[in-house]
Chain A
């Protein structure tokens, strides 16, 4: 690949104008689709052909085109003084400069439109304090690759000179870590949490129902009547059929989700970074240097345990609390061995170190018992006003709460080692996460009025991108762990990202 120079300001590919145009059209449609639907169904579509509407529409189209061209024309990017600079906007001018050492990751992406146009989106995530996400939306793949390489290489230079990292693995040899076949994807989707799919159905169903309600009021009422009638007269067999139907639907949704996201999933490691590619319609390409991993999470639900797979999540450095899935990179379908392999790649021998294992204080169990009692009682009491018989279920609640509290207590283990801290938790699924102690950003100790009485405390470790909670340990232990962590942070001169 020839080396491209980015010293001079340059614009995106001309195709970018089409991209911006299509995106703004999409945005408009997304905003106004119920209105459009209304027009089409109410038979008012012909109204759009009237001159008044035609003029309005054509002005809108012209505005959109002008907007796209101006957006494209005023969008520049360059590399200057070890900074990646973006200049954009025609009404409001924005200049964004990201120093290389603040770059967390560089991702190439393609959505459907970009795939058709043959351009690539390049995203740069920074660890700045403000949420400024930087993306170039439409450039040729070659340019994107070369830009990505330059950004990444500059970064490596900086790290190398600062730290003198001795890395035997710096030989640029790609090593496949995980590849998911069709069968793997099938297993992953079967073991998915189907509750989520169910919720999606409900949310979608509800949404669509309300959108269509105005249009087909009478049809819907009659259909609802029929369903009600059907439910009243149906046997348990039909009910069972209904449950199976819902299950199958949620399974299909999970499968669609999994196949869209993880189609042709390919994870390799080269040097000291991972590279991930996946996705069916939207091909994602993510690079994560090992050092940027702030936390490794693993979760195994009972179904996954049966199939010997687990979900792994790598939390990357980002100042904004990670709500977007983007900064949490999921690696589905890892078995035990793969998990160990991954941990050993990112961390330096994490499992052989001796640790002090702590359990939460016994009070923890009572706390969760009362908490879940309360939480579960609320829907029952509310429902009870409608159907009195529901109130009888309240008897079951203490038993259920006891089981849950016990389970949470049993699962919760804190492993505190010299360099690593591991937390095990979960109710139904088994959750696990491991962090490197020196990557902690802030240490909090919280003691409620009750905790002061029984000598316990909550320790919260603020990390970049997430927080690790160590609940209900003895106060003196919390202080000791805090001192140790602070000491560890202050003596280390390794950069945390």
Chain B
């Protein structure tokens, strides 16, 4: 038993290491997109709060104040997270797998081997179309909560990655 265990060690040190992966940062345009999206979100909420306050007379001023404070705290937190977390986001493509790194408070790294990818999908929303950004969604057979969406890349990059992925997937199948 012990002997075999030692063998394992050699085998482990021999394989490609995660530490050596170099991540490519997302396009700075994506940060703009995030900002725009969240500005719209927060604007809608503040409008709702103000309308509610003036529409219903029985809401006291203090609750209006509390709502405003909570709103601004969330706004500040969200936008500082976006700015600070953005440099952390990135993706990397190796010969046989794809990695995506994201998150500010909780760092997350997702790795999907090409031979486990079911299919790939490119999406573009309204604003992201104007900014020439796209989302590459990668589906595995794993549960949907763990599917990968690679955001903040140009349409061209998305097409390129899709090309790589589908050729590898078909090659393996």
Tier of interface size on chain B: 35 or more
A155 within 8 A of B: no
Which one of B18, B19, B110, B142 lies within 8 Å of A464 (CB-CB)? B142
Contact (Cβ within 8 A) B139 A484: no
Near B by CB (< 8 A), chain A positions 400-455 give 418, 440-449, 452
Question: What is the CB-to-nearest-CB distance from A483 to chain B, in angstroms, rounded to a whole number?
Answer: 5
A132 within 8 A of B: no
Nearest A residue to B18, CB-CB = A479
Instruction: Collect the chain A residues with CB atoms within 8 Å of residue B119's CB.
Output: 129
Complex Cα distance A487/B97, Å? 10
- Which interface residue of A129, A441, A448 has the most chain B CB atoms within 10 A? A441
Complex Cα distance A466/B97, Å? 21
Contact (Cβ within 8 A) A319 B144: yes
Count of inter-chain pairs, beta carbons less than 8 A: 112
Near A by CB (< 8 A), chain B positions 89-142 give 96-97, 103, 105-116, 118-119, 139-142
Contact (Cβ within 8 A) A446 B107: yes
Tier of interface size on chain A: 35 or more
Instruction: Collect the chain B residues with CB atoms within 8 Å of residue A318's CB.
Output: 141
Which one of B12, B17, B115, B142 lies within 8 Å of A462 (CB-CB)? B142
Which one of A321, A418, A442, A448 lies within 8 Å of B112 (CB-CB)? A442
Complex Cα distance A466/B111, Å? 17
Contact A354/B141 with A483-B15, A483-B16, A486-B97 known, Cβ cut-off 8 Å: no
Contact (Cβ within 8 A) A462 B111: no
A201 within 8 A of B: no
- Which interface residue of A354, A448, A490 has the most chain B CB atoms within 10 A? A490
Contact (Cβ within 8 A) A449 B143: no
Contact (Cβ within 8 A) A319 B141: yes
Contact (Cβ within 8 A) A497 B8: no
Nearest B residue to A487, CB-CB = B15
Contact (Cβ within 8 A) A484 B12: yes
Nearest A residue to B1, CB-CB = A354
Question: What is the CB-to-nearest-CB distance from B89 to chain A, in angstroms, rounded to a whole number?
Answer: 15
Majority secondary structure of chain A interface residues (helix, strand, loop or mixed) = mixed
A317 within 8 A of B: yes
Instruction: Collect the chain A residues with CB atoms within 8 Å of residue B96's CB.
Output: 486, 490
Instruction: Collect the chain A residues with CB atoms within 8 Å of residue B4's CB.
Output: 354
Instruction: Collect the chain A residues with CB atoms within 8 Å of residue B19's CB.
Output: 479
B63 within 8 A of A: no
Contact A321/B5 with A129-B119, A441-B112, A443-B110 known, Cβ cut-off 8 Å: no
Complex Cα distance A484/B4, Å? 16
Question: What is the CB-to-nearest-CB distance from A379 to chain B, in angstroms, rounded to a whole number?
Answer: 26
* Binary interface encoding of chain B residues 7-21 relative to chain A, with 1 for a CB under 8 A from any of its CBs, else 0: 010001001111100
Instruction: Collect the chain A residues with CB atoms within 8 Å of residue B148's CB.
Output: 442
Nearest B residue to A441, CB-CB = B142
A303 within 8 A of B: no
Contact (Cβ within 8 A) B111 A321: no
**Supplied contacts A443-B110, A444-B110, A449-B106, 10 more A-B pairs, CB within 8 Å:** A319-B139, A321-B144, A449-B105, A464-B141, A464-B143, A467-B143, A479-B17, A484-B15, A486-B97, A490-B115
A-B contact pairs, 11 of them (CB 8 A): A128-B118, A319-B143, A356-B8, A441-B146, A442-B111, A444-B108, A448-B106, A464-B142, A464-B143, A479-B19, A487-B16
